Chain A
Amino acid sequence: MTEALGADVVGAAPSGGWRSAVVAGVRRPVPRSVQLRLDVEDRVDHLPGQHYVVRLTAPDGYTAQRSYSIASAPGDPLLELFVERLDDGEVSTHLADVVEPGDVLEVRGPIGGWFVWDGESPALLLAGGSGVVPFVSMLRTARALRRTDLLRIAVSVRTLEQLPYADELLQAGALVVTTREARGIRPAGRLTGADLVPLWEPGQTVYVCGSGGFAESATGLLVELGVPPSVIRVERFGPSGAPV
């Protein structure tokens, strides 16, 4: 076990069991997705970067469970999740189309002790699409601690309209790269090594989050730039190019 593999965070990360959560808020700020605010009974405070599992139960006892990163800061009285709707998805369609305020959901968390930020160390955050969710929690935590200077953020998304938390991210100075539309003088295109050069500094831990394809290409760029693999932490969202 090397130091790089989270010896510093292991053991420190909180974890919690199954709880019931009352849906307090449902918003759809971005097409084809939903932001849920949950009031979790006996909530265990999380570290930014951790996730929850949401379990749905059908009348005959059949269950489906999926992982969702936490968007809120630990100090937020509610737990915020942001779910992208997959057309043929079982859980994301229910959360996006059916869930209403007042509903009760079963949740388990917080989970994960690797993809977490300690609130004290410099970090570079690279997200593809809804991969920004855990970084929003990190950013909100940094704001509460008045340490936003520690974070550098770069995001790749199809169009700006599809970027969750776009205002918050832009306000924090995040680099936003759009792959399906031009932005300013920049033509549509992917994140490049040149984008990362001004953001990367030795001493940073680098967090990469998004689909499997995004994670693979972003870590490839970092390694080519000479970023030591031991400082890179990756979270991949779900199956078919979509973790933990």
Chain B
Amino acid sequence: MPTPTRGFLGRRRERDPRLPPGQYDVGGDWPVLTAEPTPRIAPETWSITVDGLVEQPTTWSWDEAHRLPPSEYRGDIHCVTTWSKLDTRFSGVSVDTLLEAARPTAEAHFVMATSRTGYTANLPLADVTGGKAWLVWDFDGRPLTPEHGGPVRLLVPHLYFWKSAKWVSRLTLLTRDQPGFWEQNGYHDRGDPWRQQRYQGD
């Protein structure tokens, strides 16, 4: 245990057990955190492509994606800058549905998510399969706003939120892990909030 800081007691507020260590509840707020200006992307021009190590590289337009079986996430989200938002509701489509169509090969172990802005985030394939990841276009029953990644963002709620790439347009299956945007800039490759995997080496 590190030496206590002289005079610091901490302002422990009542802690909700759903909060991972070092996180606080923002309540009704939803802070915006992005390294780039917010792009305005018309849904008609948006599409999602699944490529790389897949048997059937596939692209879905906005309309095509909306014809896939709908799927919903209800639960909490956690940002590495220490806020968490509890009881959120997002809807869209499960990443499993996209992968079933594109069929990852046996060599595929990682995914690189790419945004229309060029932002990237890397993830182990196991973190986006088995009902753990979505492409979402609605938040709380309303279209996702551009600041929060609309028209469509990736949602991987069990990892820190920088993994949930805003304005997502491509998922590329890879054999080996490659650092994405924040990961090249010192952030952790996996980003599990319960283990406080904030920076490389945590």
Question: What is the interface of chain A, defined by CB distance below 8 A to chain B?
Answer: 1-2, 4-6, 10-11, 13, 15, 17, 55-59, 61-67, 90, 94, 98-99, 103-106, 108, 111-115, 212, 216, 219-220, 222-223, 229-230, 232-236, 238-244
Q: How far is the CA of A112 from the CA of B12 in the complex (A)?
A: 29
Given A58-B8, A212-B33, A234-B35, answer yes or no on A111-B117 (Cβ-Cβ < 8 Å): no
Are the C-beta atoms of B4 and A59 separated by less than 8 Å? yes
Interface residues of B in 1-18 (CB under 8 A from A): 1-12
Cβ contact of A223, chosen from B5, B37, B81, B199, cutoff 8 A: B37
- List A contacts of B82 (CB < 8 A): 66, 239
User: A213's closest neighbor in chain B, by CB?
Assistant: B32
Are the C-beta atoms of A113 and B118 separated by less than 8 Å? no
Are the C-beta atoms of A103 and B5 separated by less than 8 Å? yes
CB distance from A170 to the nearest CB of B (A): 28
User: B40's closest neighbor in chain A, by CB?
Assistant: A223
- List B contacts of A10 (CB < 8 A): 184-185
Are the C-beta atoms of A212 and B32 separated by less than 8 Å? yes
Are the C-beta atoms of A113 and B29 separated by less than 8 Å? no
User: B178's closest neighbor in chain A, by CB?
Assistant: A1
Besides A98-B6, A236-B31, 16 new A-B residue pairs in contact (Cβ under 8 A), listed by A number: A5-B36, A10-B184, A11-B184, A55-B2, A57-B5, A58-B9, A64-B8, A64-B10, A103-B5, A108-B199, A112-B185, A112-B186, A234-B35, A235-B35, A238-B81, A243-B81
Q: How far is the CA of A113 from the CA of B182 in the complex (A)?
A: 9
Cβ contact of B33, chosen from A5, A11, A99, A236, cutoff 8 A: A236
Q: How far is the CA of A162 from the CA of B80 in the complex (A)?
A: 29
B201 contacts partner chain A, Cβ-Cβ < 8 Å: yes
How many of B's residues come within 8 Å of A, CB to CB?
Answer: 43
Given A114-B185, A212-B32, A212-B33, answer yes or no on A219-B6 (Cβ-Cβ < 8 Å): no
Question: What is the interface of chain B, defined by CB distance below 8 A to chain A?
Answer: 1-12, 22, 24, 26, 29, 31-39, 80-83, 114, 117-120, 147, 181-182, 184-186, 199-201
Are the C-beta atoms of A241 and B31 separated by less than 8 Å? yes
Q: How far is the CA of A188 from the CA of B33 in the complex (A)?
A: 28
User: A232's closest neighbor in chain B, by CB?
Assistant: B37
Are the C-beta atoms of B83 and A239 separated by less than 8 Å? yes
CB distance from A33 to the nearest CB of B (A): 19
Are the C-beta atoms of B185 and A234 separated by less than 8 Å? no
Are the C-beta atoms of A15 and B36 separated by less than 8 Å? no
User: B9's closest neighbor in chain A, by CB?
Assistant: A58
Are the C-beta atoms of A230 and B10 separated by less than 8 Å? no
Are the C-beta atoms of A236 and B32 separated by less than 8 Å? yes
Are the C-beta atoms of A57 and B186 separated by less than 8 Å? no
Top 8 A-B pairs ranked by shortest CB distance?
A2-B118, A219-B37, A113-B185, A58-B10, A98-B7, A56-B5, A10-B184, A56-B8
User: A7's closest neighbor in chain B, by CB?
Assistant: B184
CB distance from B150 to the nearest CB of A (A): 14
User: A229's closest neighbor in chain B, by CB?
Assistant: B37
